[in-house]
Amino acid sequence: MDKPICEIHSLKHSYAGKTVLSIEHLTIVPASIVGLIGPNGSGKSSLLRLLGLAERPTKGEIRFNGQPAEPFSDEARFHITLLPQEPFLMKRSVFGNVSYGLKLRGRNKNVDQAVNQALSQVGLPFKDFAHRPWYALSGGEAQRVALAARLVLSPKVLLLDEPTASVDAASAQLIKAAAFRARQQLGTALIVASHDWPWLYEICDETLHLFKGRIFGTGHETMIFGPWRKLESGECGKNLSDNQQLRVSVPSDKDAAAIIDSLTISEDGAATAGGDVILRGTVSRLSLERKTGRIFATVVVGDLPLSVGLTRQQTREQKIFPGKTIFIHYELGQIKWI
């Protein structure tokens, strides 16, 4: 295994006394792509800010190339860069923004060429954009300029916080391609927080699920959030929009999150396919996990999207395709609570 480029040890981070992140151990290897999945407020952005050395952890240690790293540390600051969720450009031209990091590094040679290359990587022609002021850009263009300002630095670690959340589809496509190319061409390790699960499954070597500031799985688990209530049958669960009932075991508290990592499917919902609970849903999307070759089907049950892992053979034999109605089975006893 490659020597880690980034490591986290016994990290705890708090804001105003409230712990928002608690990670015992995490390693990132060079040229890997790690996806962070989790609901809003789960700690993804805090983790990225800490890894990006924009903040100092309340407790614990972050290491870069085996050396302790903290904000402003000379060993790490030129090699790690973070692209925040909302595009933020400084009050200068596009050229000024993209070349800013190079100036901080004291680089004066071939700056035009480097800026030109970075802008073209994100689909912005140099001659049309280089001299535009910061305020004359659309949201998508601003986000692409912000990414170009990071790519021009040839970072060893690039942290992307919801890079495509607030941009149009075309910009999102270009941002995804440019980030992936950085890994391919420069060997940059990418750590990406996104709600675009299929994209993450497709590109990531590893996906991590964050909830309430803790890493608890690989991101393929189906996670269902509370609040939970007593159903008429006396069991716990929630009513779905299509009048089906999602039943669960007794939760640790009414707002706990249920993790179900053993969902199975059937075409007819026959009890012989197993499971205490059988729900009818529609396949809305199929995505491929590049690393393992597994296929993940997003099945919408009521208004709840559930992710089910399938083998290629299963997908072929059961003729799973978007739009098909299928049945999901799970055992109450296999639900974990966090």
Q: In Å, how far are 34, 169, 188 from 218, measured between CA atoms?
A: 10, 27, 21
Using alpha carbons, select from 184, 182, 218 the residue that is nearest to residue 35.
218
Question: Is the Cβ of residue 135 or residue 272 nearer to another protein in the bound state?
Answer: 135
* # of chain residues touching another protein (CB under 8 A): 27
Region of 101-109, 189-197, 211-219, 234-242 interacting with another protein (CB under 8 A): 101-109
> Could you say which residues in the range 253-312 bind another protein, by CB under 8 A?
none
Beta carbon of residue 305, minimum distance to another protein (angstroms, whole number): 31
Per-residue binding string, another protein, 141-180, x by CB under 8 A, is -----x--xx--x-----x---------------------
Count CB-CB contacts under 10 A for residue 35: 26
Q: Are 44 and 36 in contact (CB under 8 A)?
A: yes
Question: Is the Cβ of residue 54 or residue 250 nearer to another protein in the bound state?
Answer: 54
Residues sharing a CB contact under 8 Å with residue 128, sequence separation 6 or more, in sequence order? none
Question: Is the Cβ of residue 193 or residue 283 nearer to another protein in the bound state?
Answer: 193
Amino acid identity at 7: E
For residue 84, report the phi and psi dihedrals to the nearest 5 degrees: -70, 165
Question: Is the Cβ of residue 159 or residue 335 nearer to another protein in the bound state?
Answer: 159
Beta carbon of residue 227, minimum distance to another protein (angstroms, whole number): 32
Beta carbon of residue 45, minimum distance to another protein (angstroms, whole number): 10
As beta bridge partners, residue 209 has: 37, 217
Burial of 65 (0-12, 13-18, 19+ CB in 10 A): middle
Beta carbon of residue 254, minimum distance to another protein (angstroms, whole number): 34
> Could you say which residues in the range 13-52 bind another protein, by CB under 8 A?
49, 52
- Applying CB under 8 A, among 3, 25, 105, 254 the residue interacting with another protein is 105
Pairing of strands 295-301, 277-288: antiparallel
Per-residue binding string, another protein, 72-91, x by CB under 8 A, is x-x--xx-xxxxx-x-x-xx
Asked if 136 interacts with another protein (CB under 8 A), we say: no
Burial of 16 (0-12, 13-18, 19+ CB in 10 A): exposed
Q: Are 247 and 239 in contact (CB under 8 A)?
A: no
CA distance 119 to 185: 16
Question: Is the Cβ of residue 3 or residue 105 nearer to another protein in the bound state?
Answer: 105
CA distance 312 to 32: 25
Beta carbon of residue 63, minimum distance to another protein (angstroms, whole number): 18
Question: Is the Cβ of residue 131 or residue 290 nearer to another protein in the bound state?
Answer: 131
Question: Is the Cβ of residue 150 or residue 176 nearer to another protein in the bound state?
Answer: 150
Question: Is the Cβ of residue 84 or residue 309 nearer to another protein in the bound state?
Answer: 84
Question: Is the Cβ of residue 24 or residue 86 nearer to another protein in the bound state?
Answer: 86
- Applying CB under 8 A, among 41, 71, 125, 322 the residue interacting with another protein is 71
Residues that bind another protein (CB under 8 A): 49, 52-54, 71-72, 74, 77-78, 80-84, 86, 88, 90-91, 100-101, 104-105, 146, 149-150, 153, 159
